[in-house]
A and B are shown apart, each in its own frame.
Chain A
């Protein structure tokens, strides 16, 4: 199976969130970056499929030079080769613009299966994979926990709301967006990193792909949310406190 995994490099989850001048994005100077975690699960599923059925796992990522570190990490974990779409202005593109870039490069590879993470930890749009399927004219499904190869294509386990699941069958080639937690992530090893040095990363300039960047949706500005997390101790007798708690859980936290 020839599997392509689209991965995104995102700011570290622990990264300090400081709004840059112009209020369009956060200050990137002191940021550490890491692989988007749902993409790590997608990569893990791809590697497991390769281990079972043979084939090739190719990672593709768009972004500036620093994305190379995350690509190397993917190669270290077991991907066979990589494609880096060098793009300096990824933020200026909307989800369709980004998907167009990826689709243009992926089309050339003719894969059997394309996997992406469910959503990214920075923008959290959750759309790239679905749009990719549309652009590549492939069937797709989302929130996938597990992929199984069958004669007619693949059978996947999809997560539904409230603890329900569903099996879906579809032919290949197909696109899937992967939910976190469906499998166990492998850790990067020294051996993996050393081997990664010999694996190919093909650089492609975004401009060469002929993918239009015209934006239908624009991020006007960003702001810090008003409420800061603090502990609310509910006062009064146990009865009063309990009643107040239920009210808060219903209306404020919205978990009831």
Chain B
């Protein structure tokens, strides 16, 4: 049985989510049966990096029109490769890029992508989340042909290295691509203007409340935010006092945020604040009052003095990064 693993690169290296997808692929077949695929205009270094991971084969799908990424380029190239090799499975990491082309690719082959998978069970049955995470569904591939699967980031352990295994055989595949077939024309990636504070798109937020007592302690909070790579925000009273600008206010009269991580430090959890951050994926609360309402909505909490907990947390975060 042959399994294709489509890898994705960023800044000249394979992204971690691809190695997690490898972890998922290994549930379907042993490493020797996995053919890792890298696509691009220059894939030599990527292929070398991949070959050391213990996969069976590496295929370099190389063509000048494959950089920058376009759905047309990737779909046409992969279709040619898949029709040639007829793998049983094609496994992807579930990234923004994969969501952009994989469903169309599967459709071209008369198949449907089983996307954002969080588990692989016997069958195989693929588990994915429904109803915004409130339900799990088990999917199976019926019918013949290749089964297309994409894997949720963080759902599987990334494969570290295949140092013990011999480096994989690298082959090159040149797809037949014409410029007229590329219908979309992407520009260079950019960031939105750095001046404005956009809490709405921040992935991590450290939020300060009245518990901080004084503006001079803001440095503590800034250190934690920097260590976490987070934006600094605050509840209403802090902004009213001018300790942080109004645009950093989270709450009913400020911004509504839904980051992956929201750390509420010294915030009691009044309704005006809660409505601004209740959509956060993971909420951590640090407060010395065990009855503070914020703990009702938090996933994790530390009941204690924030002047001790915050520096300790900053250190722990820095240590974990190493």
Q: List residues of chain A with CB under 8 Å of any chain B CB.
A: 11, 13, 17, 19, 26, 94-96, 99, 121-127, 130-131, 133-135, 139-143, 158-171, 181, 214-225, 229, 231-234, 238-239, 241-243, 245-246, 248-250, 253-256
Contacts and interface: CB of A to CB of B under 8 A. Distances in A.
B190 A166 contact: yes
Contacts of A162: 203
A130 B135 contact: no
A178 B102 CA distance: 17
A141 B100 contact: yes
Given A126-B99, A143-B96, A233-B301, A169 B185 contact: yes
B189 A160 contact: yes
Interface in B76-135: 95-96, 99-104, 107-108, 110-116, 125, 128-135
Contact of A242 (B99, B114, B295, B315): B315
A225 B118 CA distance: 12
Nearest to A123: B130
Contacts of B260: 255
Given A159-B96, A238-B308, 9 more contacts: A130-B107, A131-B104, A141-B100, A217-B140, A222-B137, A232-B300, A238-B312, A239-B312, A254-B154
B184 to A, nearest CB: 4
A134 B104 contact: yes
B316 interface: yes
Given A135-B107, A249-B284, A127 B112 contact: yes
Closest 6 CB pairs of A and B: A139-B183, A127-B103, A242-B312, A238-B308, A130-B103, A242-B313
Nearest to A121: B132
A216 B184 contact: no
Contacts of B145: 216
A30 to B, nearest CB: 15
24 contacts: A17-B135, A26-B131, A126-B115, A135-B107, A139-B184, A140-B104, A163-B203, A165-B189, A216-B111, A216-B112, A218-B139, A218-B140, A220-B140, A224-B134, A231-B296, A231-B298, A232-B301, A233-B295, A238-B305, A238-B308, A238-B309, A239-B316, A253-B282, A253-B300
Contacts of B312: 238-239, 241-243
A135 B110 CA distance: 11
B191 to A, nearest CB: 6
Contacts of B14: none
A137 B281 CA distance: 37
Interface string B282-322: 10100000100001101111111100110011011101100
B116 A170 contact: no
B316 A246 contact: yes
Given A217-B142, A255-B260, A255-B261, A141 B296 contact: no
A250 B320 contact: yes
B302 A133 contact: no
B191 A246 contact: no
Nearest to B283: A231
